[in-house]
Every structure is written in C-alpha cells, then in structure tokens.
Structure 1
Amino acid sequence: MIARLAAWMATAAMVAVPVAASAQSRPDQQAFFGLYKQLVETNTTLSAGSCTQAAAQIAGRLTDAGYPARDNIPFSVPDHPKEGGLVAILPGSDPMLKPMLLLAHLDVVEAKREDWQRDPFALVEENGYYYARGTVDDKAMAAVWADTMIRLKEAHYVPKRTIKLALTCGEETTFAFDGAEWLAKNKPDLVAAEFALNEGGGGRLTDDGRRETLAIQVGEKAAQNYTFAATNPGGHSSQPTPANAIYEIADALEAVRAYEFPIHFTDTTRAFFTATAAASPKPMADAIHALMANPNDKAADAVVSSDKGMHSTLRTTCVATLLNAGHAENALPQRATANVNCRIFPGESVDQTLATLKRLAGPKVTVTANAPIRPTAIPPTLDPKIVGPARAVAAKHFPGVPLVPVMSTGATDGIFLEAIGIPVYGAPGIFLDKDLDGIHGLNERIPVKSLYEGRDYLFDLVKAYAG
C-alpha cells in the first residue's frame, strides 16, 4: 500500500487501445512488456485471484533464463493455496558481502468491472498511460525486479553481492495470509540480507508532465486496528436512559478525534522537513523551523499540520473507520462498536498506543488491539551506502531532479523484515502524477514513459548496490 491528490477523468471521446509489444522499440523492453502484461492481467485479488499462479508464471520465466531449482523457490501454505509467492537467488562472488533483497507484492486491491471505465484486468494503453489494476501498485515494481533478475542471468552477470528476490502475497489486505511476514518468521535465512529495496519511494511529476522530485522512502509507520466496544442492557426506546451504548461509543470517538499524539522526528523526517522548508514560502517555512526546534510549539504545529500529509508525518494518527450499533429501531442499543485505524510512528508500540486509546475512551468503553498485531516500526538509518548510490544513479537518469528522503505515513511489508533486522528502503525511480494515478481507486494507471525510464533506473541501481 503506497500512501502518496486530485483526480482527473478521461473524456468519453477517448478510445481504449489494447497494448502491443511493438509499443517499445528495444528488444529488452519488448521482453519486459510481455512479463509485465502477463502479470498485470493475472488476477491476484484476494476474492477471486491467485498470487500462486502469478508467482508460478514468473518462476517459469526465471527457469527459462537459467535459474536452477535451488535458486528459484515458489512457496505457499496448505491453508492458503492461492496466496503463494516466490524467492529467487542470484549468487554473488564475494562471500564477505551480505546479500541484498528485492521485495514486491503480487496481490492487488479489489476492482469491480462495473465501476471501472475499462476492464481492470486487461492492460490498455491510452494517451500515454497503461491502465489496469496493479499497473503501479505493486506489479510495476514486481515486474521490474523479476525482469532485472532475468536480464542479469541471461547476461551471465555475476554480482559481488548476492541478489535475492521475494515476491509475496497479502500486503493489501490486513487479515490475509502475508507472505513477507511468513518468510520473516519461518524462512528468515532464505531472505536474510544486509538491506532490502521495496515499494514506497518513487517520483512526482508536475501537471505538465515534468519531473519534479524523487523520493527514497526511509522508514514507515505501523498500521494497527483497534476495536472500541460499549455494551448496555438495552430496553424500550420509549423510556431512554443516559446509559446508551451509542452515546458512549460516540463520546469515546469524539475524544480520539480531539486528541493529537505527540510530535516526534526521525533523521528521515528531519531531512524531509528541512528540504520542505527550503522550498516553502512563509509562514510555512518559519513554522517548520520553529517546530523542529521545539516540537511543543502549538502555534507552529497549527500551521504545519494544516497540510494533512505533514500532519501525519509528525505523529501517530488514529481515526474511526467503521461503526456498528443497535439491534432494532425501537430499542435502546445493547451494543455499539467502532474500528479505529492507527498509523503508529516509528519507535512507538501497539501497546503504547492501546494505553492512550484506553485512557481516551474512558471506563465505559473497552478497547482492544485487533489481530494481526503489527511489530513496532523500526526506522532505517539514512545510510550513505544506500542514499549515495540512489542519488548518483538518479543524476545519470534524471539530471537536476532532487532526491528527498521520506517516511511513509502508510504501511508496507517492509515492517516484517525490519523486525528481523533487515532495513528496508523504498526505491525511487518511477514517476507518477500528483493524484497517484488511481492507486487503490478507479482506473489505476501509470505513465508509459515513467515505467520504462524507471525500469532502466532501477536496473542500474541494483547493479550499483550489487557491485
């Protein structure tokens, strides 16, 4: 899930044209297109799709490229036969160098055909974009990583550092089997690495299509859901009493809405806000500087937090997302429940946030953390060995475009790898429009030019890290 603002709609006069491989001129681009198209058109939703099928298709391509079975390892579990994944390994020549890991998820958010202007599982090219569910999140990265492994093998390239690939399922759905979590807990040696490259970074285009900025994700929040519950004996609605489950749950949610979690900074968010201040007019720039000097400056907080993205980057946030109450129109409610979704700042735990929510809810409402319980987010360091090559390769491919470290206010599977000591970085390189091109929404799309230029950048970036 990539957390990145306004939507525009295609006009009715536009004609959807199926994409042909000849749309790209280089042979390697045509080969990549075949892999990407097959992956995008393989339904991998939880309700009706199969990540296992998608993983098997990529495994077959890796086999054809020369990967032996020992280095081309599909996996699944009996209880979730359609939610499998794949690990592939390209051995390095220097045993003293720890491996690097390329991580991406194969599953996609649900997409109903009746809601979309085009079939969400048929890749369509239209006015410089590829349209389909997963064209960005996260099949662009999954296809690029798999294609990179194939190209390196076919070129007989022997990296100094072993390169590992993990394509997993379950990232988009909280209650689904999560392949990255399963690997971290059950096969940690298989994915052990000095660092991992994942989704969460990228680039932003201006309204007229020019590259504006590159982002490398260094850290993310932990996503955690909590249930608020109030219960009463109920009774006839003609004789109401103050003890009302709906009112009690409403009071608790109002307390959550009014509460602001404390402001914190990591090295990444300090670097992000420093860069933001340099590009911002007064009074925003002054407020950012004041807040970094004193996180308790309420006046500065009010200015900076007027931007919802920066507000979320400063602190843990919790918000009500689901509500269920009552059992009859003419009866006092016996039970009311609400789901509160929290995005927990790195270093803060699920239990710490639970304690705060319990205090806010008061004695009449119970608060529990919902399974699955997420690990505490561990922010990676701004390691020059990671940021340096990303910036150097960007200078070659995207000269003049600044590279900014960001902390994602969303969540990815990186949190599971960080829990076992693997720092995870969201790779830059693929530029999107400011509205995020329909990720998680209708008519998801990716600029064709961005996809192929990003592929070239990421291929060179992998080689730069691998040696």
Structure 2
Amino acid sequence: MPSRRLVAALPAAALLAASLSPLHAATAADTQARAGEAAFRTLYKELVETDSSWPNGSCTVAAEQIATRLKAAGYADGDIAVVVDPAHPKEGNLTAVLRGSDAKLPALLLLAHIDVVAAKRADWTRDPFTLIEEGGYFYGRGTSDDKAMAASFADAMIRFKQEGYKPKRTIKMALTCGEETEKALNGVEYLLKNKPDAMAAGWALNEGGGGSLDENGKPVSHGVQAGEKVYQDFTFTATAPGGHSSRQEPHFNAIGWMAQALANVNAYDFPVNLTPAAKAYFGASAPLYPKLSQPMAAVGAGKATEADYAAISAANPSWNATLRTTCIPTLINGGHAPNAQPQSVTANVNCRIIPGEDVEAVRAKLAQVGGDEKVKVTLADPPQPKSSAPQLTPQIMAPIEALTKEMWPGVPVIPRLATGATDGRFTNAAGIPTYGVSGMFADPDGQGVHGLNERIRVKSLLDGRAFLYRLTKAYTQ
C-alpha cells in the first residue's frame, strides 16, 4: 500500500484527546490502561520462559500459547492463525485481527518478534529462561528484546476483546519469528509473501523506539524510530599472477592494491542525506547538548552548513551515521604463502545505506573511491528490499506526543533514524510505513540486550504496556 495512503485523516479532537481531556478523564484512562496487571504478568512470564531462540527453542510453541489466550478471550478461530512453514516447524508466527466498524479505514498493524538471541545458562548469573524479578528489574532472555512489546500487544488485544472495545479502525497483530538471525526463516517476510491480507495495513507500530533514562533512572527523551538504514555487504576482489617474494613488484601486488583501495574507502565520507527523522532528531535534540545546540538546531531548521555537519559528525559516530551512508572494511583475506606474492585478495566492506539511496550507486561510488580498476567491487549478497523512510505526519506524531506529555511531563519526543535493522525493513518496503515506539524507557548501558543478564525495569515495562494500550486506542477509536 503506497505510503501516501498512510492514514485517513483523524479528527484532531481524537488525536489530542489525552492532552485536551480533563485531568480526571486522563486519570481514568490511565487506570483502565493499567488494569489486569496480574494476568499480564502471567502472560509475560510464560512468554519469557518459553525458549524461542534458534535453533534449540520454538517460536511455534510461543505462538500457540498466545493463540490459546486470545481464543479464551473470545476471538473466533477465523480471527487467529498460527502460521508455520512446513519446512521450518519450530519457526511459527501468530496473526490476529480485531475488526473495525469502518472497513474503508486502513488497519493498524501491531508488530513484534517473539524469537530471541540464544543464551547459555553457564554464562548467565541467573537462568536466562526463568523470569526473575529482582531489585526493580525483570531478568531473562527477551525480557526487553522483544517479548516486552510482544506481551504488551497480546495483552492489549486480549483486553480489547474482553472489554467489548469496538474500534473504528481494524487492529491487526503479527508476532513473528526469525528477526534475530538470518539462519531462521524471517516471519515478516514470509507473511508478507504468503499471508498478505494478515499484514495489510495503513501503518505499523514496531520495536526500535522507546525512552532513554539517565544514570539516575530519570527519563531524558522518548524516541520514535522512523526508518532504518539498509544493510549491505560488498566484496572487494583483487587478483594477480603472484611470484617470488624476493621480487619487489608493487605494481603487481594484490595486497598492495587492496590495501590502498580499502584505505581510500575508510577515509571517505558519503554526502549528507537527511531523512525526515534525522532532521527532526537533531532539531529536537539541540536543547539537550549545549555545546552542539547551534549546529543541531541548524540541521533541524534545514539551514546547516558543512561546518555544522562536520562538528556533529566529529562529536559522535552514531550522529555521523545518522547523517549519511557509511561504509567500512570489516574482513580481509589474502595470500597463500609467507614467501610468495599474493595471487588473490578479498575483502568485505559493510555499508549502512540511507533509506531511498540506490545500492548500485553505492557500489559504483565504492569502486570509484577505491581508485584502482584492478580491485573489483561486487555485491556480496542480494540487496535488501528498497524502502523510503516513513513520514512524520501529525496523524502519527500527535497521539504519541500527547500521551508522552501526560505520562512523562517535560520529556521530549525525539524522532530518529535507526542505524541498525529491524523487521521494519520488510514492512516499509511493502508500503506499510513502520514506526518504532514503545513507551518503555531503558538504562544507558543497553540492559544486556543480545548479551548477558538481559533485563528491563519493572516500571518501564508496566508504563510501556499502558502507553501502547492507550496509543492503540487513540489510533483506532
């Protein structure tokens, strides 16, 4: 579905209800959003304690468990599906739908992955597949990434049915497998191809956003991901006749050619290419960084100079990656003997490409920058689906900003471009603008995501659950 059909115009009053309602109404809405905590904790515990890592765990078991809960809440069999590719029996996915009263409105898709990164018990302080509450945190693999959102979405869908909520806009949910490793079947890609009706939507909410806490646990900002850079590896190859190492022939040395080409690539800066999210990010972040407030504000206002961009890039590698496509050498292999000139050398250059840029144009630029026609540059893998960054429209942002203002007064909402990758790369490419937002605030140390002793603050999880429940209603009522 083209992104220009993103969202049918919503009444301003509905979009801003949280900020315009009387205090008692807002309090009542928050109370309702936090109801049923015991049932949520049970669902969350079951999901975390179900090993869904590849290859030992099973997403299918996790999907079936949630499907059982949805059915018990009143969903008909035709509105729930556990979708499993027969060739990947443990990599199942769950789809569900709560039908809206206005079939003309494009649906809202709630998207989360239920697979997790593998975890070895011997390396962890606690059993990674036992949910442990300790010191104000939940510990366990997937407590943060991404079973916090998956459980919150499933919980919201269950409560909507139990409450008799009649949305105007259809709500769809997809809890999928295969996000964490390319060795598994990617559930989002599979569903888009094989069950397109289950995924068709005007826009989607996904992981990738969320709040940031300072070292004292104070909320600093609430991030909204709008777009992500495209992952692409390129293979650099140089071949030569070789020969005895006693013969110094620099014009015939493949390692020498490759070394110079890679040095050129490593030193090259691609041109600045601002996405809407990147522009908004720097504008909103300017007050948070006094030493860089001027150049950041200039970027946000569309008036930045090359000096402004240079100052921002030099201050933080992540900011540099937000401004432009980046490519760096990551692997090299060459030579066959210590006393012989090399006959072949290969290297890998990893690029994170600004959404919308052409992969072939990046390849051609790398070959040009390498500066030696004897070094060939090819795609290491087929390109990822091409997509553009979704637009930050008032229809999307107003409810997020209103709820953030109510729940975390004074905390700014800051859009951002992800320099990594989520399943949003598939939905964006399919014409479903996808936004990362959760209302879950994370510690600055990363909370052990993909590492040891993964955790999430109990308060952050419960706040995020309430936020996502209310945001989904704001978009669909």
CA contact (8 A) 2:53 2:118 kept: yes
Of 135, 148, 154, the residue aligned with 1:140 is 148
Q: Would the alpha carbon gap of residues 52 and 247 (structure 1) be closer, same or farther in structure 2, given more than 3 Å must change? A: farther
Does 148-157 or 177-186 show the bigger shift? 177-186
CA contact (8 A) 1:267 1:381 kept: yes
2:378 is matched with 368
Does 244-253 or 177-186 show the bigger shift? 244-253
Of 330, 335, 338, the residue aligned with 2:347 is 338
1:178 is matched with 186
What letter corresponds to residue 447 of structure 1 in structure 2?
Answer: R
CA contact (8 A) 1:104 1:198 kept: yes
How far 1:330 moved relative to its partner? 4.8
Alignment partners' CA distance in 1, 2:240 and 2:60: 46
Matched, 1:393 2:403: yes
Give 1 or 2: higher helix fraction: 2
Equivalent runs, 1:193-212 vs 2, <5 Å = 193-212=201-220
Two-structure CA RMSD over aligned residues (Å): 2.2
Structure 2 unaligned segments of length 5 or more: list them.
1-33
2:467 is matched with 457
Give SS of 1:310's match. helix
How far 1:109 moved relative to its partner? 2.3
Alignment partners' CA distance in 1, 2:242 and 2:139: 51
How far 1:240 moved relative to its partner? 6.0
Give SS of 1:77's match. coil
Q: What TM-score comes out, normalization by structure 1 length?
A: 0.88
1:272 is matched with 281
Q: What TM-score comes out, normalization by structure 2 length?
A: 0.86
Q: Would the alpha carbon gap of residues 326 and 458 (structure 1) be closer, same or farther in structure 2, given more than 3 Å must change? A: same
2:14 is matched with none
Alignment partners' CA distance in 1, 2:470 and 2:299: 38
Give SS of 2:452's match. coil
Alignment partners' CA distance in 1, 2:288 and 2:202: 34
Matched, 1:349 2:381: no
Q: What percentage of aligned pairs have identical amino acids?
A: 53
1:162 is matched with 170
Alignment partners' CA distance in 1, 2:57 and 2:77: 25
Alignment partners' CA distance in 1, 2:247 and 2:89: 53
How far 1:293 moved relative to its partner? 7.2
How far 1:271 moved relative to its partner? 1.6
How far 1:142 moved relative to its partner? 1.0
Matched, 1:94 2:102: yes
Matched, 1:43 2:51: yes
Give SS of 1:376's match. coil
Deviations 1:307-329 (A, max 9, x none): 11211110011122333334445
How far 1:30 moved relative to its partner? 1.8
Number of aligned positions between the proteins: 441
Alignment partners' CA distance in 2, 1:226 and 1:81: 33
Deviations 1:127-175 (A, max 9, x none): 2111222111111111111111111112222211110001112222245
Equivalent runs, 1:186-265 vs 2, <5 Å = 186-237=194-245, 241-242=249-250, 243-265=252-274
Matched, 1:109 2:104: no
What letter corresponds to residue 427 of structure 2 in structure 1?
Answer: L
What letter corresponds to residue 365 of structure 1 in structure 2?
Answer: V
Structure 1 unaligned segments of length 5 or more: list them.
1-25
Matched, 1:446 2:456: yes
